[in-house]
Structure 1
Amino acid sequence: MIRNDLFLRALKGEDVNRPPVWMMRQAGRYLPEFMEIREKYDFFTRCQTPELASEITVQPIRRFGMDAAILFSDILVIPQAMNIEVQMKPNFGPYLPNPIRSVKDLERVVVPNINDTLGYVMEAIKMTKEKLEDEIPLIGFAGSPWTILCYCVQGQGSKSFDLAKGLCFTQPQAAHELLQKITDTTIAYLKEKIKSGCDVVQIFDSWGGMLSPVDYQEFSWQYIQQIIDALKDEAPVIVFGKGCWFALKEMAQSGASALGVDWTCSAQNARYLTGGQITLQGNFDPARLLSPPEDIKKMVHQMVNEFGKNRYVVNLGHGILPNIPVENARAFIDAVKEY
């Protein structure tokens, strides 16, 4: 039994004394102990070495005592497993030298055996669970099929993902075939993560907000819905779509346990759009963690008051930034614990 089950109770909609708190990207670049590891090992070595991934996962828990841990990994391990090369270039970000831009390119994309290709993630989960000693739940995650497609087609990060959208609009059959392959892989991957010990899974639709509401239904949401349907009876599923406030009503009826909200959508609007019957997670502007610690605490208390303490998970509206002072991150976590 998990001793601090506040997060799991909030996902079920149970009455709690205070909401649980964790931060997206909490295992990472703002922590000095993470930077020490980063200096010794490159990005995918950190992801693919279970000892390193599990150590990085528990670093913020030791320091701040969040109510949930999230496994250190990356959404792009999925395309790697699907026979699509992914490099992480310093000062550049992800780079895919052979992007998928036609039906012909799809011939080399496979739906892999998860244990053969991503077994290192499962080992990291088991090691992390040992380190956590049933104190708090562990979250596993994956990117949404649309967000993964964006990188597979564009070949790198982008402000517009024009090539990815271009494939969808000029070769929809190829786009849907790729999306389905990513979906099938993601379902198998997350099922294996749950079997290995993850208590909750989260789907990150980081680039969902790039699409119009109509295109979002066709190229993103229907595939996320497949994932929710396949997993919801095995573990709670959280869906976070950045910039996707327009889809919150439909998302609330999906069977997901919680929905992430970014900082551009107010608590009042998020509760209104979702009908007030689902747990919400978010939505502190990550850049606001640059404010003085006493201001952070006031703003966090105000945010909790606006969302309400029940059916709510305190989090950021996107991942924590690398330039956030450690004491400001602590102020964010402490503000919730003191609520």
Structure 2
Amino acid sequence: MKVFSTIASISLITSASAFTPSIPSRTTTALHSTTEAAATPTKNNKASPGDRDILVRCASGQQVERTPVWLMRQAGRYMSAFRQYSDKYPFRERSETPSMAIELSLQCHRAYGMDGIIMFSDILTPLPTLGIEFDVVKGTGPVISTKIRTEEDVQKLKDAESVNFDETLPFIREILGSLSKEAEEANTSLIGFVGAPFTLAAYTIEGKSSKHCLATKKMMMADENGSSKAMTQFMDKIATMIGNYGCHQIECGAQVIQVFESWAHQMTPKHFEEYGKPAAQKAIKIMKDKYPDVPVIYFANGGSSYLELQKDMGADMIAVDWSVDMAQARKILGPEVPISGNIDPTILFGTKEQIEQAVRDCIDKAGGPGKHLLNLGHGVMQGTPEEAVGWLVDECKRYKGKDA
């Protein structure tokens, strides 16, 4: 299969069996020496023994000594050190070569000192374990070649219960295993993540990024009128695989798992209740039944219009996007539901004062320092000034509350 460079906004990988990296193997230590100078540290807060698990404790619902912080897409093209790799190597090569994936996971933490290191990967990573194949075409993005339209198409996929992730995605254990050691040495937490079943199903059905997800919605309508149960069957299969994949990440060292419903904006509240929610709940339950002490965060990007339906997902924490006011989100979810979010990513293009004020406002509206997990309401955008990320992280760690 021909390998194409990815566009900046798309991050995908396929199974290792479909691709053999062309660059020589390099150790994490060697990579550190080549890129540390490119990422100028901005963190100026003294380390505390509690920093090691403050994010884990917060995600579990505990009130903690200060507000912890990590950012979605915190490893990305806004960093010059990251672009040294992304401008030269295709995404699949970077993410399937453990030494490179480890380095790219660590760059942002070394520079900014977030309260968690997140594995450099993508939500579509495990699809090949079910026999779903895709490529990444420059200028187009992901193109998924496996067609799913009928019950017969679903039945042809591999058994979700019997996936051996060490065989199909062997790089995951090496990446997370090494990152686990790095996180311990850096006195921070290790975050894993998975895609939610609806998002993965819709991406596969559409075969590419889609504005309206019409093919997916037609399958849901066919499911509702009883002419085909392909949608329900497909999502159930993905939910099983994703739940087990999350467990695999935990077994490899992840201390927290975030579930990304990246295409929540494609679902009406009715669609969410009937399709997205039950499938996500199943995946989350698989993880929580096996590892009850490992917190799971659920994030529905574009799902704030039905935030009240997310109170009983079975996750330990709900992450909210930037389209809802944090105080309103806290009111909708209630004080008993731990919350994460939700600064508008475009704030990072503002002044230092604007960024720091946005951090303080978000923390105050969430209940005050230590009452929620600070994040953006979506990922760090390409072109974001590097120093802006440092200002956000530093202010979050420094802020003691309105009355301090």
Instruction: Give the shorter-chain TM-score range.
Output: over 0.9
Q: Which residue of 2 aligns with 1:324?
A: 384
CA contact 1:289–1:296 (8 Å) conserved in 2? yes
Give 3-state SS (helix, strand or coil) of 1:276's partner. coil
Give 3-state SS (helix, strand or coil) of 1:130's partner. helix
Give the stretch that moved more between structures: 241-250 or 140-149.
241-250
CA contact 2:264–2:303 (8 Å) conserved in 1? yes
Q: Which residue of 2 aligns with 1:128?
A: 179
Give 3-state SS (helix, strand or coil) of 1:133's partner. helix
Aligned pairs (5 A) from 1:170-181: 170-171=222-223, 172-181=228-237
Give the stretch that moved more between structures: 241-250 or 200-209.
241-250
Q: Which residue of 2 aligns with 1:220?
A: 276
CA contact 2:68–2:370 (8 Å) conserved in 1? no
Give the stretch that moved more between structures: 7-16 or 52-61.
7-16
Q: Distance in 2 between matches of 1:129 and 1:15?
A: 24
Instruction: Please tell me whether Structure 1 or Structure 2 has the larger radius of gyration of its CA atoms.
Output: 2
1:200 Cα shift? 0.5
Q: Distance in 2 between matches of 1:228 and 1:3?
A: 26
Q: Distance in 1 between matches of 2:395 and 2:301?
A: 24
Q: Which residue of 2 aligns with 1:337?
A: 397
Aligned pairs (5 A) from 1:182-197: 182-197=238-253
1:22 Cα shift? 0.5
1:163 corresponds to 2:215 = yes
Q: Distance in 1 between matches of 2:304 and 2:179?
A: 33
1:117 corresponds to 2:160 = no
Q: Distance in 1 between matches of 2:181 and 2:53?
A: 17
CA contact 2:75–2:107 (8 Å) conserved in 1? yes
| Normalised TM-score (structure 1) | 0.95
Q: Which residue of 2 aligns with 1:144?
A: 196
Give the stretch that moved more between structures: 289-298 or 60-69.
289-298
Q: Which residue of 2 aligns with 1:69?
A: 117
1:7 Cα shift? 0.9
1:15 Cα shift? 3.0
> CA 1:2/1:37 → structure 2, altered by over 3 Å: closer, same or farther?
farther
Q: Which residue of 2 aligns with 1:288?
A: 347
Q: Which amino acid aligns with 1:279?
A: P
- Alignment deviations for residues 138-196 of structure 1 (CA, whole Å, 9 cap, x no partner): 11111100000111000011121111112221255101111111111111111111011
Give 3-state SS (helix, strand or coil) of 2:152's partner. helix
1:40 Cα shift? 2.7
Q: Which residue of 1 aligns with 2:295?
A: 236
Unaligned runs of 5+ in 1: none
Count of aligned residue pairs for this structure pair = 339
| Normalised TM-score (structure 2) | 0.80
Q: Which residue of 1 aligns with 2:64?
A: 16
Matching residue within 144, 150, 168 for 1:96:
144
Aligned pairs (5 A) from 1:227-266: 227-232=283-288, 233-266=292-325
CA contact 1:194–1:234 (8 Å) conserved in 2? no
Matching residue within 259, 265, 273 for 1:203:
259
1:294 Cα shift? 2.1
Matching residue within 127, 130, 146 for 1:79:
127
- Alignment deviations for residues 275-301 of structure 1 (CA, whole Å, 9 cap, x no partner): 111211111111221112221111111
CA RMSD of aligned residues (A): 1.7
Identity of matched residues, %:
32
Runs of 4+ residues over 4 Å off in structure 1: none
Give 3-state SS (helix, strand or coil) of 2:375's partner. strand
Q: Which residue of 2 aligns with 1:29?
A: 77
- Alignment deviations for residues 118-137 of structure 1 (CA, whole Å, 9 cap, x no partner): 22112110011122235111
Q: Distance in 2 between matches of 1:138 and 1:165?
A: 36
CA contact 1:249–1:275 (8 Å) conserved in 2? no
1:3 Cα shift? 5.0
